[in-house]
Structure 1
């Protein structure tokens, strides 16, 4: 059962910040209780190019909101679903579990840096096999755990990586590029 109505999550400030992101035409923010019982903040937007939308949105939000108000998962949609009455249809919104993608989309780490980053993702998130295109936040990461990820990357690779970097480059592939460029 989809639970998009967790009363413990205040979404007003996050929603206001999402609506101020350039190119965002519409936004909805909900609390969601995942299969593990953890409450997450989910953001749904229309407008930006899906290929780069979530990176730019996270960059924008990270400079304006405290970490706990940044959505754990962001979804870029063609349109926000509506009920016949014209309200947002929260039950029709995708869930994080539905956003993990097909199993055949998995690409194994190809380099030493990617392999080590995949191991770090696995350790921090308590998940199994991590591919290079798997998103830290889609795997269950939060902005709080992203702070730990940035610290681990700094420690393991001796490169300066900030929380903003992790929010903008949240896949193994993107983080590996940052490490390789440093």
Structure 2
């Protein structure tokens, strides 16, 4: 396994004279873009449960809570950075679903059977396409928490928000997220 680099502060300089912060502003400052929105949702979940450590891309789960609960975060939003016609379809992909799916485990650097996280958090940014987008307003997020076993039992690789709600994922605000994750993890065990 390779060692992780030292965590950057943003003040470090590239050899061309620009800073890491300049890169972050270029690549990740628009939270309406799907990649940045997903990373932000993972960050919000990690902060809610008090997780330490940095994000590990492509690990079998997105967040490891201090109590050992594994959390997978799926993200969608009513608004997109590009022009869209028609109403938003809130859907989430990358679920354990189909038989034979594998996951990479960062700890062992191996692939194995698809990991089913203890808890799935379906995060939805609620700003509509015709509203001004404020990626810093955490009150514009709703979180739907579902035990991992419930998600896995559907056999689905993707699902719409209506299914998440039918499975018990009621919408909650960030301030209640940690308690909802704890409750879902307890029901998974």
Instruction: Tell me the TM-score normalized by structure 1.
Output: 0.30
Higher relative CO (Cα under 8 Å, sequence separation at least 6) belongs to 2
Structure label with greater radius of gyration = 2
TM-score, normalised via structure 2 length: 0.29
**In proportion to residue count, which structure has more strand?**
2
